[in-house]
C-alpha cells in the first residue's frame, strides 16, 4: 500500500528526477507555458508552486533557495521582477494543467502546464496568427475579384465586335 507516499518516480533515479523537475520548472518560468506528459506536468506543478511560494517572501534566504533550483539568472530575475508581483496576491494555484490527448509515438498522455495569469502570451500569439490569416484571406479575395473583373472585361471585349 502507498499510504503517505507522495510524488511520482517518473521512471528515473532521484538525481535524474530532481534535474528533470528543475529543468521543467525553469522552462515554465521562462516561457510561461510548456508542453509535456501529464505525469511530468502534475509533478512539475507541485514543484514550481512551492518554488513560487518561496519566492513570494522576497528575502535573501528565499532568493538563494530559488537560485539553488533555477540555475538561469535571467529566469530568477524575471521571477522576482515580473512573475511574483503579478501572481503574488494569489493564495496558491499559480499554474494550470490542460490535458491535450495522446502522443502519436508512444500514446503517452500529453498536457500543457502554464502560469495562470499569463494567458496574454498565448492570446497575443493566437491574435497575430489570426491577423495573418485575415490578411492572407483579404489578399486572396482581392486577387479573385481582380481575376473576375478581367474575365468580365474579356467577355465584354469578345461580345462587342459581334454586335
**pLDDT tens sequence across 69-122:** 999 999 999 999 999 999 878 899 999 999 999 999 999 999 999 999 887 666
Q: Is the pTM of this model over 0.75?
A: no
**pLDDT tens sequence across 3-20:** 999 889 999 999 999 999
Residue 109: name the closest of 62, 40, 33 by CA. Answer: 40
> How high is the pLDDT of residue 150?
86
Q: Parallel, antiparallel, or unpaired for β 95-102 and 109-115?
A: antiparallel
Helix-strand-coil split of the chain, %, nearest 5: 65, 10, 25
Q: How far from each other are the two terminal CA atoms of the chain, in whole angstroms?
A: 96
Q: Starting at the edge strand that comes first in sequence, how are the strands of the sheet with 109-115 ordered? A: 33-37, 109-115, 95-102
Residue 62: name the closest of 44, 76, 83 by CA. Answer: 76
Amino acid at each position: 500500500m502507498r499510504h503517505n507516499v507522495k510524488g511520482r518516480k517518473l521512471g528515473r533515479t532521484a538525481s535524474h528526477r530532481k534535474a528533470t523537475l528543475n529543468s521543467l520548472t525553469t522552462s515554465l518560468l521562462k516561457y510561461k507555458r510548456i508542453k509535456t506528459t501529464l505525469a511530468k506536468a502534475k509533478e512539475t506543478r507541485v514543484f514550481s508552486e512551492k518554488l513560487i511560494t518561496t519566492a513570494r517572501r522576497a528575502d535573501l534566504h528565499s532568493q538563494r533557495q530559488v537560485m539553488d533550483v533555477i540555475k538561469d539568472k535571467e529566469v530568477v530575475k524575471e521571477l522576482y521582477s515580473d512573475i511574483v508581483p503579478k501572481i503574488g496576491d494569489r493564495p496558491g494555484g499559480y499554474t494550470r494543467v490542460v490535458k491535450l490527448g495522446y502522443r502519436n509515438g508512444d500514446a503517452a498522455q500529453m498536457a500543457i502546464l502554464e502560469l495562470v495569469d499569463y494567458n496574454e502570451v498565448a492570446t497575443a500569439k493566437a491574435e497575430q496568427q489570426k491577423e495573418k490569416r485575415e490578411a492572407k484571406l483579404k489578399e486572396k479575395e482581392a486577387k479573385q475579384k481582380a481575376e473576375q473583373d478581367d474575365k468580365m472585361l474579356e467577355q465584354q471585349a469578345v461580345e462587342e465586335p459581334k454586335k
